[in-house]
């Protein structure tokens, strides 16, 4: 059910939608046009609709329609991800800022296409006196098939993480966060993924690398984290776990695997070597509390 409508000065109609079910009914076909890039938005709304408490309140959902009433963009807010906006014209930053602010949402984090993120976060800085704590640029990648040449180079095997490894999983998540500061508690994130059976390890006489999956969509799934402790690096474990997980997922009739990597992170070389190719860019801005 649509709660409110706002008409921007740019000729777009901004609709606030009452719940995740209404949001998906209005936007799912649009989101699936770029399913690899919009995987997180799709899965977040689906999890909220299912009653999952992974994404906390305040929940907020919006649709952006052009003069022909065709969907031109979407926006969603939930903790801890904050406000995520699909790719839209940066000229809509002020109307979207006024729209979201008017709904009582004060996001701790904003993610969108880089120009839009810069424009709208500037408004939160200038008009709401927000201070930026972190900025991250992300490259979005996609893999459609695994080359026969991508054979696991490391000794060991792929398996699901076990419940008796919960403490290790949390510790590795905390190490990950120290190397790559993030808005999310990665230790807790890994433990949630373990409980959901979405956390994999490469085992060579014990865990040597760890990887999680999330954001199942109509045709694909997303890699949401990959970590290899320092003492196990340089032995092919990361390449092997990514290759084997992707092979298994594509054998389940998924058409693609997607992921986001921080721009400039050395892990991008690993992904491109395995056949991932860029499909988009995102920027996130995290504000201080």
pLDDT (tens digit per residue) in 10-69: 678 999 999 999 999 999 999 999 999 999 999 999 999 998 888 889 999 999 998 888
**Nearest-angstrom CA–CA distance, 202 and 225:** 14
Q: Diameter of the chain by CA atoms?
A: 62
Residue 233 is classified by DSSP as T
Q: What is the pLDDT of residue 149?
A: 66
Share of the chain above pLDDT 70, in %: 95
- According to DSSP, the β-strands at 199-203 and 2-7 are unpaired
Q: Structure pTM?
A: 0.90
Q: What is the pLDDT of residue 7?
A: 57
Q: Which residue pairs, CB below 8 angstroms and at least 24 apart, start in 143-148? A: 143/246, 143/256, 143/257, 143/258, 143/271, 143/274, 143/275, 143/276, 143/277, 144/255, 144/256, 144/275, 145/250, 145/275, 146/243, 146/246, 146/247, 146/250, 146/274, 146/275, 147/274, 147/275
Structure tokens at 229: 């402790």
């Amino acid at each position: 059910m649509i709660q409110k409508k706002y008409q921007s000065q740019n000729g777009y109609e901004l609709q606030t939608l009452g719940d995740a079910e209404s949001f998906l009914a209005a936007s799912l076909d649009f989101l699936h046009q770029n399913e690899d890039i919009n995987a997180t938005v799709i899965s977040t709304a689906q999890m909220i609709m299912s009653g999952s408490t992974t994404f906390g309140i305040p929940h907020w959902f919006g649709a952006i329609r052009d003069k022909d009433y065709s969907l031109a963009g979407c926006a969603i807010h939930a903790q801890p991800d904050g406000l995520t906006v699909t790719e839209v014209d940066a000229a809509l930053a002020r109307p979207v800022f006024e729209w979201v602010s008017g709904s009582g949402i004060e996001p701790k984090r904003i993610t969108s296409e880089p120009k839009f993120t810069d424009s709208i976060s500037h408004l939160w800085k200038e008009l709401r006196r927000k201070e930026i704590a972190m900025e991250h640029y992300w490259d979005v990648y996609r893999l459609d098939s695994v080359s026969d040449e991508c054979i696991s180079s490391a000794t060991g095997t792929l398996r699901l993480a076990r419940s008796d490894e919960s403490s290790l999983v949390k510790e590795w998540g905390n190490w990950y966060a120290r190397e790559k500061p993030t808005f999310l508690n990665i230790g807790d994130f890994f433990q949630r993924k373990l409980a959901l059976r979405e956390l994999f390890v490469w085992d060579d006489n014990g865990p040597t690398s760890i990887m999680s999956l999330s954001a199942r969509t109509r045709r694909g799934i997303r890699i949401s984290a990959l970590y290899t402790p320092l003492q196990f690096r340089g032995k092919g474990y990361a390449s092997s776990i990514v290759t084997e997980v992707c092979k298994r997922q594509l054998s389940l009739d998924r058409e693609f695997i997607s992921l986001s990597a921080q721009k400039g992170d050395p892990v991008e070389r690993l992904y491109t070597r395995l056949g991932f190719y860029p499909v988009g860019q995102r920027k996130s801005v995290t504000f201080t509390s």
